Chain A
Amino acid sequence: MKGFILSFRSEFYKTRKTAAFWSAIILPLAICILLFFGFFSHSDNLAKQPGAALWFQFSGAILGVMGSLLLPMLIVFIAYSVNNIEHKAETWKTLFTLPISKFSVYSAKYLYALFLVILCLALFLLFTLGFGNLLAVVKPTLKFNEYHMESFLAQIYLKLLLSSLGILSIQFLLSLLFRDFLKPMGIGFAATIVGVILAGTGWQYAYLYPYSHAMLTVKSMHSAKGGNDQAMPQLAVDLFTKDIWVSLAVAVGVFIIGYFIILKKSVK
């Protein structure tokens, strides 16, 4: 356990000045600021809309891109970055000659990547709510204060996080094994496009394909919202759908396989 904590702290120490770490913070901030100004400058048109519709538009603008491309690509990038730092510096050999178990080194790195994903999603949630409420203050004509969806958004983001665990494990393993950028990035990108198409066309077995899970989660939100926006819809998120179970199973499975690969692998 001590080895794990030390490794995890070291991961933070190493990456705190890198793009991987800051992108997890700046990306949600930048997107939410852009949306804020978008809504701010179009406030005249938007003032006619009820609070619920405003919130759905505001959060939906982010969640839409998030499910289709942003979240999978963010994961591809984070998984690549935390591993590339060792490929680039040729430090795998030093990490594995430290008096720390291989499991600690491996799991700390994986959980640090997960931490970055959680950080990023938590900031998206926080900034969405923060900037929405800020709009209500600076533009009282926008009726953001008439409606509350904190709990729904929190659940959706939690579901997005769970839906992303499968691809996180896969991308993490790919980035660990391949030192060049193109392989994990190319595979991740292609697989995501396929995932978006599968989920978008509503293929019945899309829930088995990890790269479709984020998209499926976002789609499930639309059905939760229901067709009837005006009449205060009942918002409920079914957290543990079968695609989430697949995502969790893939995450755990690939994580374990990755560990055995690390154990057997010779460090060049």
Chain B
Amino acid sequence: MIQRYRTHLAFSFMALLLIIVGIGQSWSVSIGIFNLCIISAIMAMGVNLQWGYAGLFNAGVMGFTALGGLVAVLISHQPIYEAWSVGGTGILISLLIVIVASFFIFYVSKNIKSVFKKRFFIVFVILLAVIGLGNFYGPSIDLIEDVNPAKTGFLGGLGMPIVFSWIAAAFAAALLAWIIGKVTLGLRSDYLAIATLGISEIVIAILKHEDWLSRGVKNVTGLPRPVPYEIRLQDSEWFINIIEWLNSSKLSAIETVSGKQDLLNKLVIEGSSIYVKLCYAGLFISVLVILFFLSQLALNSPWGRMLRAIRDNEVAASAMGKNIVGQHLQVFILGSAIIGIAGAMLTTLDGQFTPGTYQPLRFTFIIWVMVIVGGSGNNLGSIFGGFFIWFMWIEAEPISIAFIGLVTSGLDYGDPIRMHLIASAPHMRLFIMGAILLITLRFMPRGVIPEKVVRPR
């Protein structure tokens, strides 16, 4: 019984948790958590594609997320023509040098047989490229960063609607995944983990320090939104009417006109924030649903069957004529693209891009906990994992503060031990995450909603 309705139970439980927060804290908080839950669920689905379908350990989720965020900036921000006119050509020439050099290296390593000659040519080309970049890249970034540094100081973006960036982010992440995959797939499985860990640190380092690209740690704020702004809603007639109509019973209970107006103003402000969040929720849910159906389709297709066969027995699959490295590369690229979409969505939701906030524990390893807890190999499981773990991550802090308050209630208020414990309470969330992961791995290794083994009839 419980086995059969596991999925329903899990999701009902999750809905109950969100409703409790909605009633207990506020609906605005609850929907805010819900939106981030959806983004987490999409990231978890991306990791699940790599780990659950194919058994690849990607420790660089953070890098793909941040890359998605960067794409959101590059697509949606208004172009800064002044910066383009002073340094645009230099940057474009540098880009051209990099592309030409990479093609040359690619060509040389494919077509020249002699190892010594090959290495000589590659080193030579790299040296040439470095000298060329020194002449074009350095001076032009200085010029770009000098253009109104307090406000812009970067090239800006394309000025397109930010929703387009979700698609572009998928392609950018896929390209990065292709490069990493080409180098590390086919070697031992741990090397992929280390390589992805490394590339994610490098992506963050680049985003933090290349100011001409996205202002680095100075952050890009005020990205255009795909949904209305609260201020506009509060001024618009139809929205106030809707709020008035929804709360008509509450409003009619108040006698005075001024009291009525005050309450209405308060309700409109609260309502506008909820309305904006609901708009985001609608957009995110549609992305989640599309990706879920595509992943399900892939999972149940011959392609998905082949991936599981490779995962479960590489040698046998190889003997059946399947190209293991090629398939791994495919699934690694697809999974990373999904993570890139989630990264762009996250930046869209925040309305700003802050490279300093990308932390591996929060953006890589938490996603892993989601996939493992939800049930690797099962998309519904990943979605549940994304919801539940994100919820815990947010609510762990109030829970642990309450818990520590209870434990230390015997001590004086100013007691140093009590003070220290209360100050350290936020770190308990890491402990809770680790404990959840270890307990799941030990007692429920297949996760809350395990992978379904479909047998042909």
Chains A and B belong together in one complex: no
A-to-B contact residues, CB < 8 Å? none
